[in-house]
Amino acid sequence: MPSLAERARELDAIDPLADRRKLFDLDDSVVYLDGNSLGAPPRSVADRMTEVVREQWGRRLIRSWGEGWWTAPERVGDRIAPLVGAAPGQVVVGDSTSANLFKALVAALRMAEGRKEIVVDAATFPTDGYIASSVARLMGATVRAAALDALELTENTAVVLANQVDYRTGRAYDVGAITSEVHAAGALVLWDLCHSVGALPVDLDAHGVDLAVGCTYKFLNGGPGAPAFLYVPQRLQDSFDQPLAGWNGHREPFAMAPEFEPSSAIARGRCGTPDILSMLALDAALDVWDGVNITDVREKSLALTGFFIDCVDSLVGSRVSVVTPRDSTRGSQVSLACEDAQAVMDALIARDVIGDFRPPNVLRFGFAALYGRYTDALRAASTLADVLT
């Protein structure tokens, strides 16, 4: 039986996505397993930023708004669309995930006239719950937290806000099945894709999803705080009545009309002037996806996280417990529970194995299929074994 080291080298050697790693600016001395929090920089970003600042801003000045800047939110959205299974014209980039959740939840309550309950995934990243509470307060609605496998929807449920991947445990949920369940109850579903976009297939159009948001700085590698995205399918765009109705979402923004009339397209999801530097950094970062099939990404992600779990089982054993599902119902991270998890993670980082800590006791290791290596997974597990000795 080959050793873990032999297996790791062989898996790297036959990895069909191995060539992608050279598109990233990463030190080989560092094992970077926090791409589920901040993706690594694609090499193209730094030069693109220089060009945007010196040429587009410096030489073309205000004229650049008419030479690609104004339409960047929809154009970059159309580059993300295939990664989430959306046809063009349904994804717009801008603002933060929290702000887009706010837009989408208010719009959903307005669509679901009469129904007044927001159901929030009980395991959600906290901002989703905070925003849901804020929206409920403004709209005279209520918020109920529920596990995604025990939703208990009622005739009063307007919208279910669900995370495709649990940020803490790494468990992945079935978008199709949950969407169908929500629709059967007459409610709308809003998917938060922060921990799944770029890591596994989403198929928004195919599943008839109503609304979705996601961030671009994790598996999409768009840069720290890169603008988020909002998905509104064609069939709902006319009824998408969102509250951050700034001038960018107007039908004719440069008419400077006193009354707001929303754009008839996905642009109605826009609010104020988009952050162009961050938007075009993301645009450059998306180049690493050219020619990549998301099913290949998923295949490698499962293999890589599975191999890491094997290494942890062999080398670390019962000193940690694997929180992430061992079957295929996981995203692209492995979470391990252990005592003193914060101190353990600090020690790992001091040894150049970078994951992160999530309270109360979770070590998270994110695996990005475009730059992750099996040898790195092994090194992470063996460093963890050292730290825990």
228 sits near its own copies (criterion: CB under 8 A): yes
Strand locations in the chain (E): 31-32, 91-93, 117-121, 142-146, 157-163, 188-192, 211-214, 229-231, 321-322, 333-337, 353-354, 356-358, 362-366
Please give the residues from 118 up to 137 whose contact with its own copies meets the rule CB under 8 A: 125-127, 129-131, 133-135, 137
172-211: contacts with its own copies (CB under 8 A): none
In the complex, the smallest distance separating the C-beta of residue 58 from its own copies, rounded to whole angstroms, is 5
Choice between 78 and 356, CB closer to its own copies: 356
Establish whether 126 is an annotated binding residue: yes
Asked if residue 374 belongs to a known ligand binding site, the reply is no
- For 272, list phi and psi in degrees, rounded to 5: -100, -170
**Residues 269-308 as x/- pattern, contact with its own copies by CB under 8 A:** --xxxxxxxxx-x---------------------------
DSSP state of 21: G
Question: Minimum CB separation from its own copies for residue 49, in Å?
Answer: 4
Sheet containing strand 157-163, strands side by side: 91-93, 229-231, 211-214, 188-192, 157-163, 117-121, 142-146
Query: Using CB atoms within 10 A of its CB, is residue 162 exposed (0-12), middle (13-18) or buried (19+)?
Result: buried
Binding pattern to its own copies, positions 13-32, x when CB under 8 A?
A: ------------xxx--x-x
| Binding test (CB under 8 A) with its own copies, winner from 77, 227, 269, 331 | 227
Active site residues: 125, 192, 217-218, 364
To the nearest 10 degrees (0 to 180), the angle between helices 374-387 and 294-315 is 30
CB 216 within 8 A of CB 282: yes
**Binding residue per annotation — 195?**
yes
Closest CB to its own copies among 183 and 351? 351
Cβ atoms < 10 Å from Cβ of 337: 15
| Alpha carbon distance 320, 300 (integer Å) | 24
Rounded least distance, CB 137 to its own copies, Å: 8
Q: Is 128 annotated as a binding residue?
A: yes
61 binds its own copies (CB under 8 A): yes
Q: Are 100 and 271 in contact (CB under 8 A)?
A: no
98 in a labelled binding site: yes
343 part of the interface to its own copies, by CB under 8 A: no
- Residue of 147, 177, 206, 255 interacting with its own copies (CB under 8 A): 255
Instruction: Consult the annotation and say whether 329 binds a ligand.
Output: no
